[in-house]
Amino acid sequence: MTIDYRPLHTVEELEQVVNLEIAVWGLDPRDAVPMNLMRPISAHGGLVLGAFEGETMVGMSLAFPARVDGKWVLWSHMTAVARDHQRRGIGFGLKQAQRQWALAHGYNEIRWTFDPFQPGNANFNLRQLGASANTYLVEYYGVMRDAINGSIAPDRIEAVWKLKDRRVAALAEGANAVAFRGQPAPEAFMLTRDAEGNPLLRQDYDRDGKWRFIQIPESTAGLSRERARAWRQALRSALRDSFAQGYVAVDFVRSGDRAFYALRRSPIWFLYVLRCGDDSLYTGITPNVEARLRKHQAGRGAAYTASRRPVSLLGVWQYPDRRTALKAELAFKKLPRASKLAQIESRQPFLQGHWVEG
């Protein structure tokens, strides 16, 4: 039977969502998102989406507007499919319906969190949907008392789904648009497993390669509590360190008896400070300082510097990715002029960025 996807608004529909939450995750009713919260969300800019087989709700998703890194995104708080309807593409259908709604309402990005230790989650979010992740959240929801987590406090990583990205659009149309192809180089594995199936954080891996791979168990079912804890700790260490070094999880690969994250190094970004011809200061970010400086000198770098030439470079800090550099730029611009000059004179790190030149 055809699955119908539609926004939900009525009390009766939203009560069905609550029932589905409890059934799918084995929640205590007090831990479910209540109808009286979903109702204003659905009425005032959010989206409560239902998947129906005939008149029966077999899937749902809840999302609301959120302010992240200075821009509005749609935050997808939860998506679930009835247990007897899983593995039928309904989860994918829900996310694609959510994507179409978001695009129609002016959003370019949807974000959510997921447990990085669950291979099914990683495969769905990264490989099937084309999301990426470079933010690690330790014990984000605290202890979760449900049938899946069993009273532990699992970590989360934040999925970033760029709705107009070419790969995302291709996957939505059914294309096999994977981010990583070919055979992974053995030396690029930061986390793998030993002969007994325990996690092995390697010290001799390639620390500067374009690609980095982080293995997890192909299935978490049947793992002892001690071994699962060891894997979670190793995964936390590997992903946090990799994200801090500018790597982004862009794919999840199942190959033979291995399952692993494929992380790609992001372009390095720089925060730079210029002294303008009128002695004022200008701050910007760029992946190529020399090219950017030439544009400023030619009057094509920014409207502010175009009328204040010539400019001279005072200082540069290096950051692992654009987002980190942007946060540093916003913080630096808030400093008084004297503090800016003192920071440059000190040649010390600034908000996770190390000094490069000046």
Structure-block tokens of residue 321: 């990715």
76 backbone φψ class: left, alpha, beta (φ>0; ψ -120 to 50): beta
In a domain, 296, yes or no: yes
DSSP 117: T
pLDDT at 148: 56
Residue 214 in domain: no
In a domain, 301, yes or no: yes
List Cβ neighbours of 257 (8 Å cut-off, separation of 6 or more). 218
DSSP string, 307-327: TS---EEEEEEEESSHHHHHH
List, in sequence order, every residue forming a beta bridge with 156; answer none if it has no partner: 137
Range of the domain at 350: 269-357
- At 145 the pLDDT is 60
**Within a domain: 58:** no
Has residue 72 been placed in a domain? no
Task: Tell me the pTM.
Answer: 0.79
Q: Is the peptide bond before 310 cis (omega within 30 degrees of 0)?
A: yes
CB distance 110 to 73 below 8 Å: yes
State the pLDDT at residue 28: 87
Domain harbouring 276, CATH code: 3.40.1440.10
Q: Following DSSP, what letter does each residue of 16-45 receive, concatenated?
A: HHHHHHHHHHT--GGGSPPHHHHHHHHHTT
How long a stretch of residues is the chain?
A: 358
Give residue 358's pLDDT.
Answer: 61
Beta bridge partners of 225: none
Is 350 among the domain residues? yes
Is 253 within a domain?
no
Tokens of 207: 């620390």
| Interval 97-114: pLDDT, tens | 999 999 999 999 999 999
What is the identity of the amino acid at 182? G
Query: Which H or E run includes 346?
Result: helix 337-346
The total number of structural domains in the chain stands at 1
Question: Which pLDDT band, with edges at 50, 70 and 90, does 233 fall under?
Answer: very high
Separation of alpha carbons 314 and 298, rounded Å: 18
Sign of the torsion formed by the C-alpha atoms of 10, 13, 15 and 17: negative
SS3 331: helix
Residue 209 pLDDT > 80: yes
What tokens appear for 352 in the block? 């996770």
In-domain check, residue 352: yes
